[in-house]
Amino acid sequence: MTIHLHEGDLPADVDLGDVIAVDTETMGLATARDRLCLIQLCAGDDEAHLVRFPRRDRPYGAPNLVALLADPGRLKIFHFGRFDLAAVKHWLGVDCAPVYCTKIASRIARTYTDRHGLADLTRELLGIELSKTQQSSDWGADQLTEAQLGYAASDVLHLHALKARLDVMLAREGRADLAQACFDFLGHRVALDLGGWPEVDIFSH
Ligand code: MN
């Protein structure tokens, strides 16, 4: 695994292809309160590009990264994209699309379990143990530790492989269209989160 750390934006000469794994690290779980600190990107190889943001007013202004996230010709793979999409919408001002979410795919394909965490998926589908020990660390620090960088990178390195495995299961169970409809709706779900309906099921009675 090779980690490239960039400050403030993705360099213009980095080409990550048409299917890009994306993850974010923030100061916490409240999107409007807890700033976006880091975005991790991977093209499906063993290289991770990490873009670090110092504290600044929003929108941050990262034109190369924003163009990539908004590019309709590039599919962005997330795990629990609902959180990451809200963070990039709030802090970068970008509507990220089109998207694929391995957590949604897992919930729709793997109905035999309620374990849909990223570490659960990599363990069962890929035989890889992911460490989650740095998950709650200080992502706003001036210097990120080697452990933090390795953890952040590991969160995007397996998403392409997980997507491949989950797509096979979705097709086998006849649920690929349902999953795709959910991916297509995810941006609207995020708009509801940010607009004041964060924990309301608008479809409920
Ligand atoms: Mn992460």
Ligand 1: centre distance to CA 68 (Å):
19
For residue 151, is pLDDT > 90? yes
Give 133's pLDDT tier (boundaries 50, 70, 90).
confident
Question: What average pLDDT score do residues 170-194 get?
Answer: 98
Q: Which amino acid appears at position 105 of this protein? A: A
CA of 138 to the centre of ligand 1 (A): 13
Does 200 map to a domain?
Answer: no
pLDDT number for residue 132:
76
Average pLDDT, the chain: 96
Q: 86 CA distance to ligand 1 centroid (A)?
A: 14
Q: Which range marks the domain in which residue 26 is found?
A: 2-195
The pLDDT value recorded for residue 44 is 97
For residue 72, the CA-to-ligand 1 centroid distance in Å is 24
CB count within 10 Å of CB 143 equals 5
- Quick check: is 180 in a domain? yes
Least confident span in 54-58, 177-181, 188-192: 54-58
Residue 91: Cβ-neighbour burial (10 angstroms; 0-12, 13-18, 19+):
buried
Q: Which residues pair with 26 in a beta bridge?
A: 36
CA–centroid distance, residue 152 to ligand 1 (Å): 6
**Segment 169-191 mean pLDDT:** 98
**Is it the case that residue 23 has pLDDT exceeding 80?**
yes
> CATH number, domain at 48?
3.30.420.10
Identify the pLDDT of residue 135: 75
Whole-number Å distance, alpha carbon 155 to ligand 1 midpoint, is 5
Residues 174-186: what's their mean pLDDT?
A: 98
Radius of gyration of the chain (CA): 16
Residue 60 lies in a domain: yes
- Give the Å distance between the CA of 204 and the centre of ligand 1: 31
Query: Is 205 domain-assigned?
Result: no
